[in-house]
Structure 1
Amino acid sequence: MLYAGGRSLLHAPPTTLRSVTSRCFIRRPLSSQIRMSTQLVEHVVLFNVRDKTDPIKVNAMVNGLNGLKSLDMVLHLTAGPIHRHRSSSLKFTHMLHSRCRTKDDLSNYSGHQSHLGVVRETVLPICEDIMAVDWEAEDLVGPVVPPPGSAMRLQFVKLKDGLGEREKEEVVGVIGGLQEMIGVGSHISFGENFSPARAKGFSIASIGFFPGLSELDAAAEKAEIVKQKDRVRDYIDGLVVVDYVVPSSHSASL
């Protein structure tokens, strides 16, 4: 979540991370959170850094954002350059993906002086556009902290005006159904955006997590996945699609 002048640029009231079976969460070291079924809140920010920005300033932004993962209330956070941009109308250069457990955790993160300082000093001075979405990811099966080298495909969906809940639910259902098709070791987080202020009208979001880029590309080319997406293509007014590779702690800057 980004702030400027003490006011939130994004409003993201999260829900509680809890086990699907017990509806409670026992804090474990992140390294032990290898694979679990959970409900949590996803927070994604896309940045468009101005052309010809000094690389030193870009590195300062990326390093500053990644440094926020050390805050106690942050469950997971990664930030870095976008690997591939597949959208025609909107341009972004960098991405942040974070996860949190409770509303209080995200609120404390948003108001933390370290976060405010990074945004004020390194993000706002060099970015000409920022877009963000938040959604509740239920029954998420996979690592809470995606490992370095794993690939992510982020997709934001803008529905055509005049569509009702039936069409929206159909789109969400198609995205959720892709879980059974994307391959072993991969999984999808998806849901409806509940923070419209910086979402530019995009109301549905998803991230596909893959062991690497080869697995991501193979899934994208599967005929059955393309067929499922074609079912709801007439409902869609716009898409933002970006690919991102989770960097190691030594290669996040670019």
Structure 2
Amino acid sequence: MSSSADTSGTASADTSGTAGAADTAVPETAEHDPDGWEAFAERPAPGAMDPPSPDREVARAVQQLRKVLDASRRQTDDQLSAVREVVADLARQAWRLDALLLEAAGPLREAGKGNLHKRLDVVRKEIRDRLADLDIEAEDPTGRPFDAVADVVDVLRWRHEPGFTTEEVAETYEPIVRDGSVVVRYGQVVVGAPPATGDDEDGAAPDGDRSAEHDTTPDEAHQVRAEDRPEA
């Protein structure tokens, strides 16, 4: 009886001791998996996204189209301005052709070349007509009162002679060229006036500052001062 009890007590003690050790053992730490679900932090769900507004998309497209059109318009304006500059110079050259044909009319007829003069005159008229279609005009101010053209000519020099009773354009070296109502080339002229009095001499501008160009030579007449040109 005693032996059986001892055996039972020993077994019971061993069993309880083993169970206690199992309860107090520290569990092994699992290895961290960087690709596991624990790597993802919780984030709030995004709110509802509004779909693109058709009106907004149309407005953006219209704005882009306007930019393209504006750039194209500026380029076209620049090209047109360059073309009209060339045409204005052509009008000046056509005016020179008029003067040359008028001067050559007599000698050509005397040389039996009257038909040549007529053909050249037809070409001259065609050029003038084409320029008129573009509203480009070369005006010869010879004989006009100086006050009427003072703002659109450069005076090369003054000519004081008894034959002049008032100040008027006595000679034109370069015409006044107009593009519509805008002057794009100043005329280059000689102004006639009554004989000077006192200390004034032929070639000097009355009132001192009426002509800053009286010393300009005819060869320089086609070079209009850029700062005096009106805006095109």
For Structure 1 versus Structure 2, the TM-score category normalised by the shorter chain is under 0.3
Q: Relative contact order, CA 8 A, sep 6+: which one is greater?
A: 1
Name the structure with the higher helix share.
2
The TM-score, its normalising length taken from structure 2, stands at 0.24
Higher-Rg member (1/2): 2
The TM-score, its normalising length taken from structure 1, stands at 0.22
